A and B are shown apart, each in its own frame.
Chain A
């Protein structure tokens, strides 16, 4: 009983097992808890996050970019933006880090059975949606049409290019990519639109009936994409947004991440748009 809560307060040792550079400033880190039993026991709902500790740097909330592997490995897609992530990017395989979590509610995937799912990712927002997509594809028959729309700043900033080109060949899902501007040839094998994500939404065909939308991206993205979705007739309780805030503790104590009267860390990070409407500062 007491060990249980201590485990959520005290980060467990983990080791970086593999790095995959995804772009100039973004790397996919594969980590595993050193305690093999704890690693295998990790239960993750897509959309949840962990608190990642980099010794001497501190802790940052990072959403899980995949469901845990067979070996219990976790995948974190991290952009070098601040103090801790910069330090993380200096690490090599074998380096010791630590993890608490997973935390947060994640996407309500069980409620979505039988529905079409539209995933909308902007930039690094692809990370939590990737774990969601993995889940949907793993339980493919439980869901209707699956569509991923992903927008990046420029071709070089598109993350998970190989995976995307694999996904583009699948017949059981639709993939649409867009970049804000083109400064170079689009990466091989990928069909890419030009323009912002809301533009992509209005430019391609997708099913809106019986569909839920899952959205994650930079703060500026939400308002315009939500507006677009509502234009297509999405009800506010079918739009799910994964939000970013400054979550210092992850467990509803430090009080940095409140959105209205909700905590991003414990009530979110996934919110129905219906619950955010009218909340000042939410989007």
Chain B
């Protein structure tokens, strides 16, 4: 079997997704043996974007002209381009204030003259290029990363379930923070795969894995309002990892 040639790269992001891959310590020797890691700036000092690649795993949101250039370069040289993590798929935390003035944000962070920096609102890949597969999560879960890599050895991608966090949460028999404690838990709206990591330790789902396919956003919104949360707070919570919700969506 020919070793798949892989690129692993990051755009505007914290490198957490790539670090999660590096944290798959038990599997790293096998990964090194099975794959040709041709481009991996975070893990390998040498190397330029050459290609062609069988797959590029790209982390982060697109928020600078440089980001876009790298992304397009990787896209054009890779058979499969994988949106690696929530930022790549939905925009992620960097995009939570996309609804506010870009210039004002830049000046708040970088002071006067900040608005002259070459950057734009952080955006997910699909605004610019075709994405072949996505591994969501902030950061993604190790088993999903490994399943994707294992499938790639056979030239394909795995099928992940498309249900929300609640499904895994109920399976674990966690206390329901939404019903029992009237907390603003996003579990029903968010793609599962984390095995309800946060609710299992009593923390509400913050939505770090982004929307689930058939999220009933409108009904969840009504439920939160009924529980006494303000539109402002609900919006702030929901935008944290994904700036673009369709608040009218029911299915």
Q: In the complex, are there CB atoms of A and B closer than 8 Å?
A: yes
Which of B119-127, B134-142, B153-161, B174-182 contacts its partner? B153-161
> A87 within 8 Å of B by Cβ?
yes
> A189 within 8 Å of B by Cβ?
no
What is the bound-complex CA distance between A90 and B159, given in angstroms? 17
> B42 within 8 Å of A by Cβ?
no
> B151 within 8 Å of A by Cβ?
yes
Minimum distance in angstroms from A54 CB to a CB of chain B = 9
What is the bound-complex CA distance between A80 and B159, given in angstroms? 16
What is the bound-complex CA distance between A86 and B158, given in angstroms? 12
Are A83 and B159 in contact, CB atoms less than 8 angstroms apart?
A: yes
> A220 within 8 Å of B by Cβ?
no
Please report which residues of chain B, range 10-60, place their CB below 8 angstroms from some CB of chain A when the two chains form the complex. Answer: none
* Closest residue on chain A to residue B158 by CB atoms: A83
Are A56 and B154 in contact, CB atoms less than 8 angstroms apart?
A: yes
Interface 1/0s, chain A 149-180, versus B by CB < 8 A?
00000000000000000000000000000000
What is the bound-complex CA distance between A115 and B238, given in angstroms? 65
**Residues on B with beta carbons closer than 8 Å to the beta carbon of A90:** 154-156
Are A87 and B159 in contact, CB atoms less than 8 angstroms apart?
A: no
* Closest residue on chain A to residue B150 by CB atoms: A56
What is the bound-complex CA distance between A90 and B154, given in angstroms? 9
**Residues on B with beta carbons closer than 8 Å to the beta carbon of A87:** 154-156
* Closest residue on chain B to residue A55 by CB atoms: B154
* Closest residue on chain A to residue B157 by CB atoms: A83
**Residues on B with beta carbons closer than 8 Å to the beta carbon of A56:** 150-151, 154, 156
Minimum distance in angstroms from A273 CB to a CB of chain B = 31
* Closest residue on chain A to residue B151 by CB atoms: A56
**Residues on A with beta carbons closer than 8 Å to the beta carbon of B159:** 58, 83
> A260 within 8 Å of B by Cβ?
no
> A57 within 8 Å of B by Cβ?
yes
**Residues on A with beta carbons closer than 8 Å to the beta carbon of B154:** 56-57, 87, 90
Minimum distance in angstroms from A141 CB to a CB of chain B = 48
What is the bound-complex CA distance between A92 and B156, given in angstroms? 16
* Closest residue on chain A to residue B156 by CB atoms: A87
What is the bound-complex CA distance between A83 and B150, given in angstroms? 14
Interface 1/0s, chain B 129-171, versus A by CB < 8 A?
0000000000000000000001100111101000000000000
What is the bound-complex CA distance between A90 and B156, given in angstroms? 10
* Closest residue on chain A to residue B155 by CB atoms: A90
Please report which residues of chain A, range 55-71, place their CB below 8 angstroms from some CB of chain B when the two chains form the complex. Answer: 56-58
* Closest residue on chain B to residue A56 by CB atoms: B154
Minimum distance in angstroms from A83 CB to a CB of chain B = 5
* Closest residue on chain B to residue A86 by CB atoms: B156
Interface 1/0s, chain A 38-67, versus B by CB < 8 A?
000000000000000000111000000000
Please report which residues of chain B, range 60-104, place their CB below 8 angstroms from some CB of chain A when the two chains form the complex. Answer: none
**Residues on A with beta carbons closer than 8 Å to the beta carbon of B157:** 83
What is the bound-complex CA distance between A57 and B154, given in angstroms? 9
What is the bound-complex CA distance between A58 and B150, given in angstroms? 14
**Residues on B with beta carbons closer than 8 Å to the beta carbon of A83:** 156-157, 159
Minimum distance in angstroms from B79 CB to a CB of chain A = 13
**Residues on A with beta carbons closer than 8 Å to the beta carbon of B150:** 56
Please report which residues of chain A, range 79-104, place their CB below 8 angstroms from some CB of chain B when the two chains form the complex. Answer: 83, 86-87, 90
Minimum distance in angstroms from A175 CB to a CB of chain B = 38
**Residues on A with beta carbons closer than 8 Å to the beta carbon of B151:** 56
**Residues on A with beta carbons closer than 8 Å to the beta carbon of B156:** 56-57, 83, 86-87, 90
Q: Could you show 17 A-B contacts with beta carbons less than 8 Å apart?
A: A56-B150, A56-B151, A56-B154, A56-B156, A57-B154, A57-B156, A58-B159, A83-B156, A83-B157, A83-B159, A86-B156, A87-B154, A87-B155, A87-B156, A90-B154, A90-B155, A90-B156
Interface residues of B (CB under 8 A from A): 150-151, 154-157, 159
The 6 A-B pairs at the shortest CB distance, nearest first, are namely: A83-B159, A87-B156, A56-B154, A90-B155, A86-B156, A87-B154
